[in-house]
Chain A
Amino acid sequence: MRIVVCVKQVLDPELPQRDFRLDPDGKEAAPGRASRVISTFDEIALEVALQLREKAGGGQVTALTLGGKPAEEALRKALAMTADAAVRVDDDGLGAPGEGLGRLDGFAVAAVLAAAIRRLGGADLVLCGRQAADTDAGQVGLLLAEELGVPTVASAVSGEPAGEAVRLKRETPGGYEVVEARLPALATVTNADVNVPRIPKVKDVMASFKKPLTVWTAADLGVDPAATAPRVALRRLFIPERETACEMVGGDSPEAQAEALAERILALKVLETRGWRHAGAGLRFRPGGGAGQAASGTDRRRPRPGGVPGR
């Protein structure tokens, strides 16, 4: 099976809010001291691809990125995780330069990645992270599937080869399902305990420097830069202000703290005081004084009186 995994390099998303700043133009995050890493779900997609190759007893995993020279570091990491080959498509001159986070939209990225995959001779399976850790948009994978004309499986967590198809497992509310997709196909990947990315072994890191890393330009792929202009424009980027004054519950022992906390929680008046006693499966919580709650199994949203849109 020939698998292509699309990876994006981003500023480390684990950077805490208090260290997060925008650059002076206010168009993207300021790099500060944050390192550049493979976007979280893309690294997970790589892990899923490598596991799939292992289960199939062979195959080829190619990591593909669209980015500048520094993005090769992400590809080296992919190779160290034991991807077989890597390709970088240079993003010079594409999209709307100077627009920061709004420079390239999902359509442009998908078109370029599709061209690269075609140049590679196609792929049986393309894996993408469910969303990038900077734009959080979750578009590229699905748009890429349309570019390539292949079916999609969204939010897969693992895969098994199945002849001319692939079986992908996805988590569903309170369970899971296995979806069989005819090849070629594309899946977006999300996290689970079975796909925590491997840490490269030292020997694999060494070996990664001998593996092929190909660089193409948009022109090599016949992509017209004018066709990569974004369809949406970034008008404003800002850091929302939010702060609640938290009351820290004191006490000189855990017992006393728990007691004080219990009192405070009860004072919120959101707990039902009797419902719990109807034990067993009927452990059912009833709204404390709330208005007409439809406890039906439909997915109708409960009305939220006094709810403020956006909060």
Chain B
Amino acid sequence: MGGAGGAAAEAARDAADRGSGAVYLVESPALDEYQADRYLAAVEVVCRRAGPDVILFGAGDVGRELAPRLAHRLGGALVTDCVGIRADGGEIVFTRPVYGGKAMAEVAAGRGPFVATVRPRVFDPAPSGGAAAEVVPVEVALDGVAARTRVVERQAEDKAGPSLEEARVIVSGGRGVGGPEGFGMLEELAGLLGAALGASRAAVDAGWAPAAWQVGQTGKIVAPDLYIAIGISGASQHLAGISAAKHVVAVNKDPEAPIYKRAELGVAADYRQVVPALTRKLRERLAR
């Protein structure tokens, strides 16, 4: 669903091409911008009409807000932030992290419809090709739905470099970076590598990095080829955000830091000395 600009129709065609049985498309100028009351009304209408047993959302900003509210309206069961789904006998069993990723829970929903959110990047996208499903347009009267919230101000920071979610390389700093100046050092390395900058929650709370940089369970879930963690201890909530990273490199002066249980390369030293030298060496080598 979406505005009348055609983006929703394109997404519908894409979904139709990826093995869906049917695709419902709601297009309305009232959906130009995401607004929870209206989006919820639209998705509720479609679900009542199609009557699915299982309703999945990506566990992004939108899915996290809509899934619980939809489950409530449909009188169903709700499981959030799943990393696994399987059929077990007559049951559907969802696997999800709990206690900040320190444990995993398997839960079975006993009452349908089951509404679930699925953690981004955990599953590979369904391949395209094959028979295209029918795209069924659905008319939803949204005029009567009061939008009880509205965006009154929006500020997009013009950030150079790739977004965290798309980045192939991420340079990330934690409390050990010690201050905003330290992030300057990380920025230099990131600039050289064309990397996105990330941060731990401790660095965000300290005000050294914007909240949008936070990596982890309650920040961004990332999947770079290379994640360089600097002055980050490796709390389970942080590691939850980088479980899909291919290679993790850590610079942490404490050789016992839990980050070394996740990293494949580490330097147990003060980053203030190691990082500038590393940037220098890499610059020399990459220039060759």
Contacts and interface: CB of A to CB of B under 8 A. Distances in A.
Interface stretch (B24-32, B46-54, B135-143, B199-207): B199-207
B277 A258 contact: yes
B215 to A, nearest CB: 13
A231 B111 contact: yes
A277 to B, nearest CB: 8
B204 A232 contact: no
Contacts, number: 318
Given A258-B274, A268-B226, A29 B103 contact: yes
A238 B274 contact: no
Interface in B222-250: 223, 225-226, 235-237, 243-244, 246-250
Interface string B107-143: 1111100000000111111000000000000000000
A232 B280 contact: no
Contact of B168 (A155, A234, A243, A270): A270
A303 B237 CA distance: 25
B8 to A, nearest CB: 13
B20 to A, nearest CB: 15
A249 B107 contact: no
A254 B243 CA distance: 29
A210 interface: no
A248 B96 CA distance: 32
Q: Which of A152, A181, A242 is most buried by chain B, counting CB atoms within 10 A of its CB?
A: A152
A67 interface: no
A10 B159 CA distance: 38
Contact of A136 (B98, B194, B195, B258): B98
A206 B122 CA distance: 49
B23 interface: no
A121 B217 CA distance: 36
A139 B258 contact: no
Contacts of A133: 99-100
A258 B281 CA distance: 7
A50 B260 CA distance: 39
Contact of A235 (B93, B121, B123, B160): B93
Contact of A254 (B122, B154, B270, B287): B270
Contacts of A286: 194
Contact of B84 (A173, A243, A285, A309): A309
A88 B272 CA distance: 49
A309 B123 contact: yes
B258 A311 contact: no
Interface stretch (A76-84, A101-109, A215-223): A101-109
Interface in A93-119: 101-102, 105-107, 110
Interface in A256-311: 257-259, 261-262, 264-266, 268, 270-277, 281, 283-288, 290, 295, 300-304, 307, 309-311
B157 interface: yes
Interface in A39-65: 41
Contact of B211 (A151, A182, A190, A243): A190
A151 B151 CA distance: 13
A177 B125 CA distance: 30
A203 interface: no
A271 B121 CA distance: 22
Interface string A181-220: 1100100001111001000000000000000000000000
Nearest to A155: B61
A173 B153 CA distance: 15
A185 B275 CA distance: 47
Contacts of B182: none
Contacts of B282: 262, 265-266, 271
Interface string A220-232: 0000000000011
Interface of B: 14, 36-37, 61, 64-65, 68-69, 71-73, 76-81, 83-84, 93, 95-111, 120-125, 148-163, 166-169, 191-195, 201, 204-207, 210-212, 214, 217-218, 223, 225-226, 235-237, 243-244, 246-250, 255, 258, 260-270, 273-275, 277-278, 280-282, 285-288
Given A102-B105, A157-B211, A270-B225, 15 more contacts: A137-B81, A143-B69, A152-B69, A179-B151, A182-B148, A191-B211, A239-B104, A242-B261, A244-B261, A258-B275, A261-B249, A262-B278, A270-B169, A276-B193, A304-B121
28 contacts: A16-B235, A17-B258, A102-B107, A106-B78, A136-B99, A177-B151, A178-B152, A235-B106, A240-B104, A242-B261, A242-B262, A244-B261, A244-B263, A247-B265, A249-B265, A249-B266, A258-B275, A258-B281, A261-B274, A265-B226, A270-B226, A273-B286, A285-B162, A285-B168, A290-B168, A301-B125, A303-B125, A309-B84
